[in-house]
Amino acid sequence: MLATDPTPGQLAVSVIVPARNEEACLGACLQSLLSQRGLTFEIKVVDDHSTDRTREIASSFSSELVRVIDAPPLPAGWTGKNNAVSAGAAAARGEWLLFTDADTIHLPGSLARAVDEAKRRGAALLSYSPEQIVVSFTERAVMPVIFAELARQYPPDKVRDQKSGIVAANGQYILVRRTSYDAVGGHATVASEILEDVALARLFRDAGFRVHFPYGGDAVRTRMYRNWIQLREGWTKNLALLFPRPNRLAFQSLLLWSSAWASLTLVTSGLLSNHPLRLGFVAVWLLLYRRIRISDFSTVNNLIAIAFGLPIFAYLLLRSKAAHKQGQVSWKGRVYPVRLRSKRGSGSCGVASKMPVIKSEELRADN
């Protein structure tokens, strides 16, 4: 059934798209959503006080297909995204709610597939880890490193284990059953969380609802950041929450990078021609490649990451730690207070225990 077919009381899905200054990507996102078939749905675009053409672009689509609503003034203690998606949920009529970011592209049939998968899995919350698209040099250099380290820090098999202390979700694509969402209090319960996706998933699991978080690259894809400024600000906001020892990991990354370049210099200098140590230095690059490739980006991207991405990652880690130590992070023109908790543990309710696995070992990325 088409998006134009919904009958009151029988609407399957309400798609909620929070949008703050998303003129570069919103049109493509909405077009991909409108191409969905196989179930009834509505689309709510929540304009979060944009200052660019976001509202104009959203309003250019038929009002019968896409409804644009305004996010209310930001309450004290709330993040902008939580405020926007809560407004969208309040206006939604669907049995299921899909919270998806404006920078996503939804492949044909993915919405019906997601609902079907959630029902088959008995999941009240299903979150897809999208295919990550990287274009600029900085994206290609640093994204494979970050995703590889996330895969090492938070193994996907533990995330999939409903009894483990590790729960995860990706805010770029979260599908929830409406009754379960209301039962846990929705985004209002995690209003101040920077990692609201993981906090929401933990709420669901703690309430006894099943959470399912598979790789969804064949359903949805995204380009997280479109320039260096966005990338720096976004990972500064998140990295210190994702990794419990950012200083140590930064030092390790710089050491690995220095070892790789030192090995390459020695191997290519001719000083070790036919020397057994030559193979040892070659092995350094092979081991680093194996470490990076678990993120499943392309071979070219993996090599760029080894050559240039590790020091950028170290810089972002240290910048994130410094920002959190100072007690605030910024995102899209807003400043949020943060608390970085040093202790981790499956029984803790602190931020550090709410670690998302943003990728799966099956993740794919474009060159």
**Residue type present at position 110:** S
For residue 295, count other CB atoms closer than 10 A to its CB.
26
Give the model's pLDDT for residue 279. Answer: 62
Give the model's pLDDT for residue 283. Answer: 75
What global pTM score does this model have?
0.85
- The pLDDT tens digits along the chain (367 residues) read 345 444 445 689 999 999 999 999 999 999 999 999 999 999 999 999 999 999 999 999 987 889 999 999 999 999 999 999 999 999 999 999 999 999 999 999 999 999 999 999 999 999 998 999 999 999 999 999 998 998 888 777 788 888 888 888 899 999 999 999 999 999 999 999 999 999 999 999 999 999 999 888 899 999 999 999 999 999 999 999 989 899 999 999 999 888 888 877 766 665 555 556 566 666 777 888 888 988 878 899 999 999 999 999 999 999 999 999 999 999 999 999 987 654 443 332 333 333 333 333 333 344 4
For each of the domains in the chain, give its residue range(s) and CATH number, in order of start: 13-133+154-227 (3.90.550.10), 229-343 (no CATH)
Give the model's pLDDT for residue 114. Answer: 98
Give the model's pLDDT for residue 210. Answer: 94
